[in-house]
Chain A
Amino acid sequence: MFFEELLADDGRVEPRDEMPDAYRRLLVRQIAQHAHSEIIGMQPEGNWISRAPSLRRKAILMAKVQDEAGHGLYLYAAAETLGVDREDLLDQLHTGRQKYSSIFNYPTLTWADVGAIGWLVDGAAIVNQVPLCRCSYGPYGRAMVRVCKEESFHQRQGFEILHTLSHGTPAQQAMAQDAVDRYWWPALMMFGPPDADSPHSAQSMAWGIKRFSNDELRQRFIDMTVPQSEALGLSLPDPDLRWNEERGHYDSGAIDFTELTEVVSGRGPCNAQRMAHRVKAHEDGAWVREAASAYAAKQAAREGAA
């Protein structure tokens, strides 16, 4: 079968190629969830656009949230190559049938949270997404190449925000440390449940969508982030974190996955707020989208008549 040969050869599946229905469904689910995460992710950072503490930071933040909208657009477009449409995917988001990354259900309480999201959340997203650039499905892999380039820029900006704060006044240092304390564990949970409890992983790896296990990626993130925290002069809230010479990796404390389950089940601090914001924006814009379609239809009729 063409599909199997392509995968065995590490080739790319393209939209017109034959593919098993289950492969298509898994990709739609994953790409849609990724797209939804981008657009819900606009909210926690958008929360600080009006209050950014300098005009330079305000401009950088506006550009970043704009990039997230752009990522949402490429990802919905990638999903559409699989025969679904954006309206339908948005409807599934708005009715809770599709999910988005749980990390965006945490609030941004201070300006330092904008830095922590850039450094930790975008940092974790990069570790998750770099292997997706080689995903077996061509349009998704190509979208990820663009997304990853911008994410690494965002991660540096987040690091820079925290660096400025941690080298600033005592109040700024405390703000930075508090943000890292609150975002560290949720960032580690972005890699998903431990391998033993990750039901979709094996199939996803067999199909060349996922390339590394949740725990491997989480370890990679920890190993990358600990030295960066030292450069920032900020501590990570895990007393068991230490270098293990033998393994060549950092050891870390146990993650409380009941927290992840709670947030995934809709009981995180901001689940209801994020959904309400998204649904309201969509509903408030309905008259505008209807008008745009009506106008386009009138224009087409006028051109037809001319």
Chain B
Amino acid sequence: MTTPPSSSPPPLRSSGEQLVGDPDRHVAGLFEYVLGLADDALVSAQRTGWWISRAPQLEEDVALANIGLDQLGQARALLAHAGAVEGAGRTEDDLAYLRDEREFRNVWLVERQQRDFGVAMARLLVLSAWQAELYAALARSTDPALAAVAGKAVKEVAYHLDHAGHWVLRLGDGTEESHRRMQAAVDAEWPYVEELFTPVDPTLVASGVAVDPAALRPAVLHAVGSVVRRATLTVPEVAPARGGGRQGLHTEELGYLLAEMQHLHRSHPGATW
């Protein structure tokens, strides 16, 4: 753990005392940060899982199950790490099943229903373009556990990006109907892009644990924009949605997702499965 730099030079002698306060803040900040990434992956996996048995063709059932499994795997590794950082003995399941809406830290992009295939692919394009940049940078995090998760995930999301990119191309440049629907899907998801770049605890960035989300904006927008344009679609100019997921302020849809996901686990307190 690195001591976060502050605006005034740290006193030479009392650094030990200062660490007594700072590690707590560092722990809390790191916990929130890792939880945000974990919840993005978990909530995405939950939405992606809906598609299994409902995809447009059998090959796509297989592909979406694969993507959902990758997202779930990332979520589990990140939740386990968040639990270890917090040090209160909470497991991946405690964090997934026993937190309420206001304690979830995912962005709005991932939590809304996606029962249109165009919307699912537009969203996956944005999410995986973001995660590809994020995980590539986090693979060099000074937090070794985070670096390890990111190093594995970066390969998985490269496939997700490729998969979503191909579908956006086919749908955008397919039939008249698919062009119209794909444009509508891009328009619908675009307001949720900006929340991805919500600033994180600057001390985590300074210590090399976290990545400054704003630094990823140009690369993410370029990756998504170039696919959208190649698909003969227009990059929308829309105002960003309010957002607030990183502070636990969500859309009403998250509550229903959690109610469904958590009910069985919560109905049998303390049971093992």
Where the two chains meet, the residues of A that have a C-beta atom closer than 8 Å to any C-beta of B are 39, 42-43, 46, 49-59, 62-63, 65-66, 69-70, 72-73, 76, 111, 161, 164, 168-169, 171-172, 277, 280-281, 284-292, 294-296, 298
Contacts and interface: CB of A to CB of B under 8 A. Distances in A.
Given A62-B49, A62-B52, 17 more contacts: A39-B53, A49-B49, A52-B264, A53-B268, A54-B97, A55-B72, A55-B76, A59-B72, A69-B58, A168-B271, A168-B272, A169-B270, A277-B54, A286-B56, A287-B175, A291-B178, A295-B173
Contacts of B61: 42, 66, 69
B91 to A, nearest CB: 9
Nearest to B62: A69
Contacts of A164: 272-273
Interface pairs A-B: 6 shortest CB-CB: A285-B56, A291-B174, A291-B178, A66-B65, A288-B56, A295-B170
B57 interface: yes
B58 A55 contact: no
Nearest to A280: B54
Contacts of B170: 291-292, 295-296
B117 A111 contact: no
Contacts of B85: none
B90 to A, nearest CB: 13
Interface in B159-211: 167, 169-171, 173-175, 177-178, 181
Nearest to B270: A169
B178 A285 contact: no
A59 B76 contact: yes
Contacts of A285: 55-57, 60, 117
Contact of A50 (B55, B79, B167, B260): B260
Main secondary structure of the interface of A (DSSP, over half): helix
Contacts of B178: 287-288, 290-291, 294
A285 B273 CA distance: 35
A51 B273 CA distance: 12
A65 B65 contact: yes
24 contacts: A49-B49, A49-B52, A50-B261, A53-B273, A55-B92, A56-B273, A58-B72, A59-B73, A59-B76, A63-B65, A63-B69, A66-B65, A69-B52, A281-B55, A287-B181, A288-B57, A288-B60, A288-B117, A290-B175, A290-B178, A291-B175, A292-B170, A294-B175, A298-B173
Contacts of A288: 56-57, 60, 117-118, 167, 171, 178
A291 B170 CA distance: 6
A233 B79 CA distance: 34
A287 B61 CA distance: 16
A286 B271 CA distance: 44
B182 to A, nearest CB: 8
Most buried by A among B50, B61, B263: B61
Nearest to A76: B58
B65 A51 contact: no
B96 interface: yes
A287 B72 contact: no
Nearest to A69: B61
B17 interface: no
A217 B74 CA distance: 43
Contacts of A111: 264, 273
Name which of A58, A73, A76, A294 has the most chain B CB atoms within 10 A of its CB: A58
B169 A66 contact: no
Interface string B233-268: 000000000000000000000000000110111001
Contacts of B69: 59, 62-63, 66
Contacts of A53: 97, 264-265, 268, 271, 273
B165 to A, nearest CB: 13
